[in-house]
């Protein structure tokens, strides 16, 4: 069985309020956990990197 890898679906806006940033972080974490559960480790890694960027900016 061939598994199709997908790109992260979450888009990070340039400017966000703290509330919007936290909601985006929560969504990315959820998507990252689902990607790992689906064994899509490349996508999970990209999402993890997005989280690092978001948390560093905050």
Digit-coded pLDDT (tens) for 1-41: 444 455 556 666 678 889 999 999 999 999 999 999 999 99
The domain tally of the chain equals 1
Whether 36 maps to a domain, the answer reads: yes
Domain assignment present for 52: yes
Domain for residue 25, yes or no?
Answer: yes
pLDDT in tens, 37-51: 999 999 999 999 999
Segments forming the whole domain that contains residue 52? 18-57
Interior angle at CA 22, CA 20 and CA 23, nearest 5: 65
């Amino acid at each position: 069985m061939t598994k199709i890898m997908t790109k992260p679906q979450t888009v990070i806006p340039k400017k966000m309020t703290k509330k919007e940033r936290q909601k985006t972080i929560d969504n990315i974490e959820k998507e990252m956990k689902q990607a790992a559960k689906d064994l899509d480790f490349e996508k999970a890694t990209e999402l993890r990197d997005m989280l690092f960027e978001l948390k560093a900016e905050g």
